[in-house]
A = this chain, B = another copy of it.
Amino acid sequence: MKIIVLGAGVMGTAFTMPIADNGHEVHLVGTHLDGDIIEEIHETGVHPRLRSRVPDRVTPHPIASLGEAIRGADLVVLGVNSHGVAWAAEVLGPLLPPQVPVVMLTKGLHGDGSTLRILPELFSAHLPSGRVTNVMAIGGPCIAGELAARRHSSVVLSGRDPVALRTLAQALRSPYYHVWTSTDLTGVEVCVALKNLYALAVGLVIGLLEQEGIASNGARMHNLAAAIFAQGLYETAYLVRLMGGRVESVYTLPGAGDLYVTCQGGRNSRMGRLLGLGMAYAQAKAEHMPSESVEGAMLAEAIGDTVRTMIRTGALDAGQIPLMLRVIDIVCDGAPVNIPWEAFFREVN
């Protein structure tokens, strides 16, 4: 296959490893934000943030060469960030024959003020009017650096067409890249988007523990972190069902697996720590992580107003998502951390 990956961030680039190893012809096209990365790959063969050598089968391109690179492509993979989805659809639309499927690595949800949408729907909505493209997505616990190091990584390829899923999964699978398939595109996308927000919430505990210290008997705060982890999955299940997804996605790779891996460190955890230490979000962001994308906070900002509106109109039940609402308050309004225990696990019993 000829595969175009648009977006040369860590995930887009790491994804080129298994597909290049599988013998596909791979073209990695940087966005206008990736100019330096593409240049560095050209010069040294190494992705600067991934600190890994890009396979020889992968041809790097600047965004200006997209039109040329995409000619004859069998598959386009989107590695842009959540802010780049509409742009990508608008750029790709005129270049992309309708029969070429798209696979999104991008994670997020879109709030338009009154409803929440998964990103494959946002992408499709920005394609030329009337265009029907098979948009699939990959989700699951996959730290880019580990995939780039060819360490065992397990993901779910999701979409609406089971035959297309099976064929494509076969083409993507490698001895270290384990690809399952799911027709629950909505469930998978909701899970993998929300995990960033809930990983930030679990990360709060790192800061709370630093403040309070280890107890005299050696006790830490794993019980607290685990309760937040579980409440996050509970709320994820509520939203997955509400948006038409299946709960199976919540307790498998996209939900539990991806939340687990995202809690093992990374930017959401680091921001959670700062907030747990008592810093206001704006200060934490400006002073400690000014140029870093904290995806959990980006999600809170992207859907905060929409979620609040949907609660006012009765489209969402505030009692089912108290932890999400607290994270939105923390990120959007600078509210202090104050875990709403009494509101957790409403449905149990």
The chain A residues found within 8 Å of chain B, CB to CB, are 50-52, 140-143, 145-149, 151-154, 156, 162, 165-166, 178, 180-183, 215-227, 229-231, 233-234, 236-237, 247-248, 250-253, 255-258, 260-261, 264-265, 339, 341, 344-345, 347-349
From residue A43, how far is it (CB to closest CB) to chain B in Å? 18
4 shortest interchain CB distances as A-B pairs: A230-B257, A141-B226, A154-B227, A149-B215
Interfacial chain B residues near A261, Cβ < 8 Å: 222-223, 225-226
Interfacial chain B residues near A257, Cβ < 8 Å: 226-227, 229-230
A249 to B143, CA, bound (A): 28
Partner of A234, one of B218, B247, B252, B339: B252
Interfacial chain B residues near A149, Cβ < 8 Å: 215-217, 219
Interfacial chain B residues near A181, Cβ < 8 Å: 348-349
Contact between B226 and A154 (Cβ–Cβ < 8 Å)? yes
A143 to B222, CA, bound (A): 8
Contact between A223 and B152 (Cβ–Cβ < 8 Å)? yes
Interfacial chain B residues near A234, Cβ < 8 Å: 251-252
- A178-B227, A223-B261, A256-B230 as given contacts; A347 in contact with B217, CB under 8 Å: no
Stoichiometry, as copies per complex, reads 2
Contact between A145 and B219 (Cβ–Cβ < 8 Å)? yes
Partner of A146, one of B142, B221, B229: B221
From residue A185, how far is it (CB to closest CB) to chain B in Å? 12
Q: Nearest residue in B to A233 (C-beta to C-beta)?
A: B251
Which of A143, A231, A233, A257 is packed against the most chain B CB atoms within 10 Å?
A257
Contact between A223 and B153 (Cβ–Cβ < 8 Å)? yes
Interfacial chain B residues near A147, Cβ < 8 Å: 223
Q: Nearest residue in B to A49 (C-beta to C-beta)?
A: B217
From residue A14, how far is it (CB to closest CB) to chain B in Å? 10
- A153-B223, A227-B253, A349-B165 as given contacts; A217 in contact with B145, CB under 8 Å: yes
Interfacial chain B residues near A218, Cβ < 8 Å: 51, 145
A162 to B344, CA, bound (A): 18
Contact between A148 and B219 (Cβ–Cβ < 8 Å)? yes
Contact between A215 and B151 (Cβ–Cβ < 8 Å)? yes
Contact between A152 and B221 (Cβ–Cβ < 8 Å)? yes
From residue A37, how far is it (CB to closest CB) to chain B in Å? 15
A50 to B215, CA, bound (A): 12
- A229-B260, A251-B255, A252-B234 as given contacts; A223 in contact with B156, CB under 8 Å: no
- A216-B149, A218-B51, A349-B183 as given contacts; A256 in contact with B227, CB under 8 Å: no
Q: Nearest residue in B to A209 (C-beta to C-beta)?
A: B151
Partner of A223, one of B143, B166, B182: B143
Contact between B152 and A219 (Cβ–Cβ < 8 Å)? no
Contact between A217 and B180 (Cβ–Cβ < 8 Å)? no
From residue A39, how far is it (CB to closest CB) to chain B in Å? 20
A204 to B223, CA, bound (A): 22
Interfacial chain B residues near A142, Cβ < 8 Å: 223
A295 to B237, CA, bound (A): 30
A344 to B152, CA, bound (A): 13
A30 to B162, CA, bound (A): 58
